[in-house]
Structure 1
Amino acid sequence: MQDTKQETALSAQERYFALLGDAFAVPLQTTAFEQFLETAHTYFVGEPGKATMAPDFPRRSGTDASLDAHTQRLIEVFDAALEAEARTKATPDHYHAILSIDARLGQVEGNDAAQALLQSPLPCPLDDLPLDHDALQQVKATLYRKLGDREDRIMLAMVGSDRPKPCLGLIQRGADDDQSVLVSLSYIHWSEALLGRLGDAFGLTPAETDVLAGYLNQQSQKQIAEDRDRSIETVKGQSKTILRKTGCTRMADVVRLSASIAYLLRQMPEAEPNQVALTEWATPKANLKTLTRGTRTLSWYSHGKGQRALLFIHGLIMGPFLSQDMLVPLIKADIRVLAPSRPGYGLTSRAGKKTGFIEDTVTDALAILEEEQVDHVTIVAHQLGTSHAHRIAAALGDKANALILLNGSVPIDDSYFASMERRTRFAGVAIRHAPSVLKMATELGIRNFKRKGVEDFLRDRYKVLDVDRNALEDPETMRLHAYGVFHMTEQGPHAFIDDQTTKLSDWSDAFTAPSCPCFWLQPGACRIIHPEHVERYVQEHSEAHFEVMPEAGSLVLYAEPEAMSDFILKAMDKAGA
């Protein structure tokens, strides 16, 4: 019996040392963070692939001074590595994938942007490039032309194998004595807004614009006809009209012209004032208001000037940033949207005392409503903002018109961890039983993803579900979610850790505290917390209205903005708000 106990203790100790070993590899290797997360997860569950907590890992309600000391050393090592990289990095091109192809070796090399776009290892043989056949032939034709022929070529290439992306490409020969070719690729997202602008520029009808969209997505006339339930003769006639209106003789020329115009349109200033680039890692300041109370600063975003007020309580890594497609219907309905940042997020000061996060979240919201001269308000919460919204609604009493939850959460205990998605499980177990492990992971994670870029972080975060991966291909979704990450990390790891603590606290009393009508809209495909568990808990503990969007994923707030605003407006009407 004694030997068994000793073996179990050694097993936990070995996992602890493995955790430290992989942690110290993260500042030195760009690919080491994923392995660290796996090791950290195994530290809790005992064996890779398991979901239930191991009985032998040392549970702690507070911090671990020894592990925190290691974390501080890791921060110093990582920050020194980042400074060294910044000094040695040569003017990177953040926007274009650049390929360099050697004619003698048939070998392709590329920059970091190329690696991210192609999603395949570089260097590689020319024939292994994930380009469509026509684009690859154009590259080869340029590569093997006479040295004196230096004419540049513009092409539209489909890049990738699983989900090909349309990219505008420029092919250039190197110097006369250089047996090489350079290819610059720029990704084009054929959004409805962009297609509409192209249609307007060419003077196309909606039906003709729809046909053009098919060509831009590399469809044949037969595929275009089948997808649009039209005869191939109709598509041929519309194609001739497109050629006439664009002044082109071939549809391939129309595609290249569209790609060129799309690239020019992307350079036009459409952004809001103060919109930040995804490389800045800064909290946006457009529509931001601030208020000083004692030693603390409160910040919130304000949209519209309507008589009806809506208070939006944000999630964790999706912050208080809403798309125009969601905001416009609300503003047109005479609604003013107020979206505060919780303590430690964005530009709102941390809580006034170490244990005051929950209390200050409520009092901050009440102070903002007072400053905005709001008497009655509808509260809308997203994901981890749910518990805070319930407490705010309870504090407001009959001044809260309604409580609306979009992909909301419910109280959970240790028994639920096994059913969680792996990363959510790791964060939940860590904050409840090993907060110093979560602090280490958060400090390393912030620095790792600042090094790799927010887009890589988000694509990795949502790689499990097709619906979420597809949603991130929309630049607006990527931009808004990136802002949420910047907002969360503006002041370091504190907001993440403080808010995870509230998520895992027992807030069942707060759940039943609001007296106003409650409305839930839950995405059916989300795996952060299973919709069946949420629905069961809501039905057992309240009389709330509950709906499920079966095919929606974790990014439903950004992927389905019209559905979100429509649900809010209908709920407000039912509540008489």
Structure 2
Amino acid sequence: MKDNKNGETPSRLDDMIANVYEAVLDQDRFDELITLAESSITNRSAHRELLRRKRDIEAHFETAEKLLSSLQKPAEDNDRPVIRLGRDLTVLQANETAERILQITAGRSLEELDIDGDALGHLNEAVSGRTEDWPIVRVPHAATGKQVLLVLSAEEDPHNGKIWLLTGVERVWQQGASLAMQSLYGLTQSETDVLSMLVSGHTPAEIAQARDRSVETVRQQIKSMITKTRSRGSGELVAVARAIANSAQRRKPQTTSADHTRAELKLRDGRKIDYLEQGDTTGKAVVFLHGCLCGNRLPNTASRYFSENGIRLLSPARPWHGQSDGHGILLHDPARYAHDICDWLDQLDLEQVQLVAFDVGAIFALVCLPHLRDRVAQLICISAQPPMRSFQDFSGAPPQQKLFALLPRVSVPLLSYMAKLGDKRLKRDGPGGFAQTVFGGAQADLEACNDPHLLDLFWQGHLFHVERGSDSFINDCRFVASDWEKLIKPTDVPIHFIHGTQNRSIRPERILAFAERIEAQVSLVENAGHSLPFSHWRDWVRFLD
């Protein structure tokens, strides 16, 4: 690469900064980007120019991130009605949107609005503290008559004590509500899909048209749900569903279903660790360290196998994931995570476990292993992320994964901004768009997503990763792009890598080279992709002692 006649950096350097989004979506342009970036490292003038451009773009994206953050504060959204209430349901304040579309102003009572009497009764019970099932209220739009959904919440006011808020919501239903209804009442996925539309105000005819089913089929599904929930009619069914949906939005308690239990405990330093348990609660303990994709829950078939074969699978949410608290020191010294693991194992009264790590979880497992001493009998790393030595390491990865492997080395503010936009896009597209967005071009993983249970598992996994924001994903990307191999210390614990031959994210030859450097064993699984621990779980479970 040569400078032009004016001594300026070549125009292709401009392309690397200005077109980074487009470049990663096109294989040829991405390869050119890689060549340019790596060439600039040895070209001093280009390197200085790159640093200057990075500072400029970081300043730009810091501004953009602040703007994005301000737009994500739901209570301040100008296009959503927000009403502050007193305990007597008197309106203390209504924002401009509430005044315009609901014709409600300060000093008026909610009882003056066209609200169902049962809903008013539920509101009175909630604000008086007689119930924790806060209702979702429907108020007609003043101009169109269309129902506007308002969800109840509370905040502390220094002058007036507790203030109750009714805030407009675009959607009442969340995937957590579907899972809750399925676990509590045995509803099917199809039934909860119908129920979500019913709760949102759609008629059976509208639901039938949207789902390309007959009205009679939808009515039969509604009757089935009424029977399963022991409701006295569709109105009571909707009321039950609203309560479940509202609870799913507001709090994350310990949950138990047929195949897993989710709980949390406090570490010695006061931080919280969230974990999942599957299988035989009295069986031999296996700890699963999840990655930054697909979550920490194994498929139902695996869970049944664990129960039948005396395996107790424990899956802690790594720092920043799920409801687990992070710690700034881990960004610089991930080996300190060993203290969290030991503390957690002590509280669960477990002396020794087998450790299984997936994706980025393998980074934590490998750097923590020497500090876990005799607590780990063996380490199995599945679809592991080996150290990133060159941009070429990710040249064949799916576009989305390729982008987030590159960004930590280009700009952390840009990474943060893109991670938040990516999460918003995934949530907008829902499970249907998840496979192509995350695994586009990775055929083995796309085929795994053809299984509805696995696709739902992966989608729920994404929601798990970002429960408390995008820091989980951002920090994982930073670990992937860092020189963490120097943190690995010698250990006597056996290490076994298991990798899919069709893994587009991490090529098998990278794992083979890395395993040779640290004297670890490798097993390749034919036709498996990056999602191997979920799609081909039997191929790693057989290596458990």
Structure 2 length-normalised TM: 0.61
Which amino acid in the other structure matches residue 434 of structure 1?
A: S
Higher relative contact order (CA 8 A, sep 6+): 1
Matching residue of 1:310: 286
Q: Closer, same or farther in 2 for the Cα pair 1:351/1:397, shift >3 Å?
A: same
Q: Deviations over 1:29-82 (max 9, x none)?
A: xxxxxxx8326779xx99466352523572599993443122212333466799
Residue 434 of structure 1 and its aligned partner are, at CA, apart by 1.8
The Cα offsets for residues 426-469 of structure 1, whole Å up to 9 and x where unpaired, read as 22221123212211111211223223324423332223134322
Q: 2:64 aligns with which of 60, 65, 70?
A: 70
Change (3 A) 1:187 1:344: farther
2:281 is matched by which residue type in structure 1?
K
2:400 matches 1:423: yes
- Which amino acid letter does the alignment assign opposite residue 361 of structure 1? Y
The CA deviation at 1:556 is 2.5
Tell me the residue number matched to 2:341. Answer: 365
1:78-120 per-residue CA deviation (whole Å, 9 max, x = no partner) reads 667995777799789xxxxxxxxxxxxxxxxxxx9xxxxxxxx
Deviation at 1:347, TM superposition (A): 0.4
Aligned-partner Cα distance in 2 for 1:284–1:323:
22
Shift of 1:263: 11
SS in 1 for 2:543: helix
Contact kept? 1:312, 1:338, Cα under 8 Å: yes
SS state at 1:184 partner: helix
Q: Cα–Cα, structure 1 residues 494 and 406, in superposed 2: closer, same or farther, change >3 Å?
A: same
Contact 2:338 2:369 (8 Å CA) reproduced: no
1:347 match: 323
Structure 1 position 357, deviation (Å): 6.3
2:384 to 405, 408, 415: 408
Q: Secondary structure at the match of 2:50?
A: coil
Runs of 5+ unmatched residues, structure 2: 41-45, 82-100, 102-140, 149-170, 172-192, 195-204, 230-242, 256-260
- Structure 1 residues 556 and 275 mapped into 2: Cα distance closer, same or farther (>3 Å)? farther
Corresponding residue for residue 192 of structure 1: none
Corresponding residue to 1:291 among 257, 265, 270: 265
Residues 465 and 427 of structure 1: CA distance in aligned 2, closer, same or farther (over 3 Å): closer
For residue 276 of structure 2, the aligned residue among 297, 301, 316 is 301
Q: Name which of 387, 398, 402 aligns with 2:374.
A: 398
Identity %: 18
Cα distance between partner residues in 1 of 2:63 and 2:422: 17
Query: 1:434-453 to 2 correspondence within 5 Å?
Result: 434-453=411-430
Query: Contact conserved, 2:4 with 2:10, CA < 8 A, in 1?
Result: no
SS for the counterpart of 1:404 is strand
Deviations 1:133-154 (A, max 9, x none): xxxxxxxxxxxxxxxxxxxxxx
Alignment of 1:262-277 (within 5 A): none
Structure 1 residues 329 and 69 mapped into 2: Cα distance closer, same or farther (>3 Å)?
same
Choose which of 414, 422, 434 in structure 2 pairs with 1:457. Answer: 434
In structure 1, what residue type is equivalent to 2:403? F
AA matched with 2:275: W
For 1:267 and 1:453, the matched residues in 2 are separated by: 29
Note the C-alpha offset of 1:282: 8.8
**Structure 1: distance between partners of 2:502 and 2:447:** 13
Match of 1:571 in 2: 543
Question: Any idea what SS the aligned residue of 1:503 has?
Answer: helix
| Contact preservation (8 Å) 1:312, 1:340 | yes
Task: Determine the C-alpha separation between the residues in 1 that align with 2:454 and 2:250.
Answer: 16
Q: Is the 8 A contact 1:309 1:377 kept in 2?
A: yes
1:58 paired residue number:
50
**Counterpart of 2:527?**
551
Q: Which residue of 1 aligns with 2:237?
A: none
Do the aligned partners of residues 472 and 447 (structure 1) sit closer, same or farther apart at CA in structure 2, a change above 3 Å counting?
Answer: same
Q: CA deviation at 1:552?
A: 1.5
Q: Are the counterparts in 1 of residues 30 and 395 from structure 2 also a CA contact under 8 Å?
A: no
What pairs up with 1:166-565 in 2 under 5 angstroms? 184=209, 186=211, 285-286=254-255, 287-292=261-266, 293-303=268-278, 304-353=280-329, 355=331, 358-414=334-390, 415-511=392-488, 513-544=490-521, 546-561=522-537, 563-564=538-539
Contact 1:288 1:300 in 2 (8 A): yes
Corresponding residue for residue 243 of structure 1? none
Q: Give the CA deviation at 1:186.
A: 4.2
Q: Note if contact 1:427-1:438 (Cα within 8 Å) is conserved in structure 2.
A: yes
CA spacing shift, 1:506–1:540, aligned 2, 3 Å: same
Indicate if the aligned counterparts of 2:434 and 2:459 stay in contact, CA closer than 8 A. no
Q: 1:37 — aligned with what?
A: 21
Identify the residue that residue 223 of structure 1 maps to in structure 2.
Answer: none
- Counterpart of 1:52, as a letter, is I
- Contact between 1:424 and 1:528, CA under 8 Å: does it hold in 2? yes
Structure 1 Cα separation of the partners of residues 250 and 505 of structure 2: 25
SS at match of 1:458: helix
* Structure 1 residues 357 and 484, CA gap change in structure 2 (3 angstroms): farther
In structure 2, the residue corresponding to 1:426 is in which secondary structure? helix
Distance 1:376 1:58 in 2: 49
Measure the CA separation in 2 of the matches of 1:472 and 1:85.
Answer: 36
Q: Is the 8 A contact 1:462 1:469 kept in 2?
A: yes
TM-fit CA distance, 1:497: 1.5
**Root-mean-square deviation (CA), in Å?**
4.4
The whole-number CA distance in structure 2 between the counterparts of 1:368 and 1:181 is 50
Distance change (3 Å), C-alpha of 1:46 and 1:548:
closer
| Displacement of 1:532 | 2.5
Partner Cα separation in structure 1 for residue 50 and residue 487 of structure 2:
30
What is the one-letter code of the residue matched to 1:376? Answer: Q
Q: Which AA in structure 1 matches 2:531?
A: L
- SS in structure 1 at match of 2:294: coil
Count of matched residue pairs: 395
Q: SS state of the match for residue 315, structure 1? A: coil
CA offsets per residue over residues 515-568 of structure 1, 9 Å max, x none? 212222211111111122212321343141x2212211222232233x24xx32
Contact 2:370 2:491 in 1 (8 A): yes
Contact map agreement 1:384 1:408 (CA 8 A) in 2: yes
- Tell me the amino acid that sits aligned with residue 58 of structure 1: L
Q: 1:509 to 1:267 in 2, by over 3 A?
A: farther
Cα distance, 1:381 vs structure 2: 0.7
Q: Which runs of 5+ in 1 are unaligned?
A: 20-35, 93-111, 113-166, 169-179, 189-255
Give the Cα–Cα distance (whole angstroms) in 2 for the partners of residues 437 and 380 of structure 1: 32
Q: TM-score, normalised by structure 1?
A: 0.58
What is the rounded CA distance, in whole Å, between the counterparts of 2:513 and 2:380 in structure 1?
Answer: 17
Q: Is the 8 A contact 1:512 1:541 kept in 2?
A: no
Name the SS for the 2:344 alignment partner. helix
1:365–1:392 Cα contact (<8 Å) kept: no
Between the aligned partners of 2:69 and 2:393, the Cα distance in structure 1 is: 32
User: 2 CA distance for matches of 1:432 and 1:268?
Assistant: 53
